């Protein structure tokens, strides 16, 4: 297995904790693997390099724009296929392919640089519309959610998904705005209702919480955690990288319950963080936490 593969720089997105993913995920170089959050194919590129020609890698993602880039990027590999799908319903894809179990599943729950640098509302550091949907063809946008929600509903979203202490004050400010269609509109509502100190962190929490709500991220993660074990082969591996405490807590609790049921051996007693060197080179990796397990 490759442990120090060279960094692919053909796209701006830098995959997180590549060496740790490869070391923990791949047990059979001729096996079948699933990348449930394919994105631009950052991790997939390295996984394919570590597998034999007879292996298979299925990649799925909700973001069609990212999939199009990834498909072109990895089209030369016969072992790879990509599919427009949400990772929580991956069993549908396996059933279509006649696959009963895989040797490993990877989830990287973070946003790609492609998404963060877009103008779809994912980052408060950009300009653009308040969309925030991973799949631009379905569901309501963040702007639509804000318009339809009450101030109490918004406060609950900010508190539950962003752990924001000033949730009610910010929610009232958001609803008091005459326009709420753009990133700038939401930033202005936060500016009017919060002190300057630590406002950047407040903005990050507000944008995060709306993105989670728009995409149903925690519900999808729970659905996946409730079912993935059935599709891992014996000694198959699960690797999940999360970026905030809500997700990490859910993964931890799921692994603990599966261990108690004698279904999963937990390979990471504590979540693995990126190395200091990686955090320095890639600031977006700093909040990453990796947990892994093996099917018993």
What's the pLDDT band for 103 if we cut at 50, 70, 90? very high
Half-sphere exposure of 207 (CA within 13 A, CB side): 26
Residue pLDDT, tens place only, 143-175: 999 999 999 999 999 999 999 999 999 999 999
What's the pLDDT band for 123 if we cut at 50, 70, 90? very high
pLDDT score, position 234:
97
Q: For residue 33, give the 3-state DSSP assignment.
A: strand
**Distance, CA of 41 to CA of 45 (rounded, Å):** 6
Average pLDDT value over all residues in the chain? 93
Question: Checking DSSP bridges between strand 32-35 and strand 56-61, what pairing results, if any?
Answer: parallel
Cα-based angle 86, 68, 145 (whole degrees, multiple of 5): 50
Residue pLDDT, tens place only, 173-198: 999 999 999 999 999 999 999 999 99
The share of the chain scoring above pLDDT 70, in percent, equals: 94
pLDDT score, position 281:
93
Contacts of 284 (CB under 8 A, 6+ apart): 14, 16, 110, 113, 116
Q: Does domain 118-216 have CATH number 1.20.1070.10?
A: no
18-114+218-295: which CATH architecture? 3-Layer(aba) Sandwich (3.40)
pLDDT score, position 117:
65
Residue reference for tokens 């799949």:
135
pLDDT score, position 295:
98
pLDDT score, position 5:
32
Q: From residue 296, how far is each of 6, 25, 154, 263, 271 by CA, in Å? A: 32, 15, 42, 5, 20
Report the pLDDT averaged over residues 112-119: 70
Quote the pTM value: 0.91
**Distance, CA of 192 to CA of 214 (rounded, Å):** 24
Q: Where are the beta strands (DSSP E) in the chain?
A: 32-35, 56-61, 80-84, 102-108, 232-242, 264-266, 289-295
At residue 186, φ and ψ (nearest 5 deg) are -70, -40
Residue pLDDT, tens place only, 66-85: 899 999 888 778 899 999 99
- For residues 151-166, b (16+ Cβ closer than 10 Å) or e, as one string? beebbbbbbebbebeb
pLDDT score, position 120:
86
| Long-range contacts of 149-153, Cβ-Cβ distance < 8 Å, separation of 24 or more | 150/175, 151/175
Domain ranges of the chain: 18-114+218-295, 118-216
Task: Determine how many CB atoms are found less than 10 A away from the CB of residue 136.
Answer: 14
pLDDT at 62 over 80: yes
């Amino acid at each position: 297995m490759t442990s120090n593969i060279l960094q692919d720089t053909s796209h701006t997105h830098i995959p997180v904790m590549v060496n740790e993913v490869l070391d923990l995920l791949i047990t059979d170089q001729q096996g079948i693997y699933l990348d449930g959050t394919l994105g631009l194919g950052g991790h997939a590129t390295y996984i394919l390099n570590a597998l034999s020609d007879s292996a298979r890698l299925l990649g799925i993602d909700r973001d069609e724009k990212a999939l199009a880039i990834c498909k072109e990027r990895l089209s030369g590999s016969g072992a790879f296929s990509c599919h427009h799908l949400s990772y929580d319903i991956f069993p549908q894809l396996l059933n279509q392919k006649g696959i009963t179990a895989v040797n490993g599943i990877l989830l990287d729950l973070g946003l790609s640089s492609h998404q963060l640098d877009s103008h779809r509302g994912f980052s408060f550091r950009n300009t653009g519309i308040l969309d925030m949907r991973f799949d631009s063809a379905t569901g309501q946008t963040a702007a639509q959610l804000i318009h339809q929600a009450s101030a109490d509903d918004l406060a609950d979203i900010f508190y539950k998904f962003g752990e924001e202490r000033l949730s009610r004050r910010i929610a009232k400010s958001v609803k008091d705005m005459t326009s709420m269609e753009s990133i700038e509109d939401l930033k202005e509502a936060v500016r009017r209702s919060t002190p300057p100190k630590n406002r950047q962190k407040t903005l990050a929490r507000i944008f995060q919480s709306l993105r989670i709500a728009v995409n149903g991220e925690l519900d999808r993660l729970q659905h996946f955690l409730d079912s993935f074990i059935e599709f891992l082969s014996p000694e198959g591996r699960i690797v999940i990288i999360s970026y905030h405490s809500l997700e990490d807590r859910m993964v931890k609790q799921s692994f603990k319950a599966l261990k108690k049921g004698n279904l999963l051996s937990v390979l990471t007693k504590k979540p693995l963080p990126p190395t200091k060197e990686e955090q320095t080179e890639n600031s977006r990796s700093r909040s990453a936490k990796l947990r892994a397990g093996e099917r018993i």
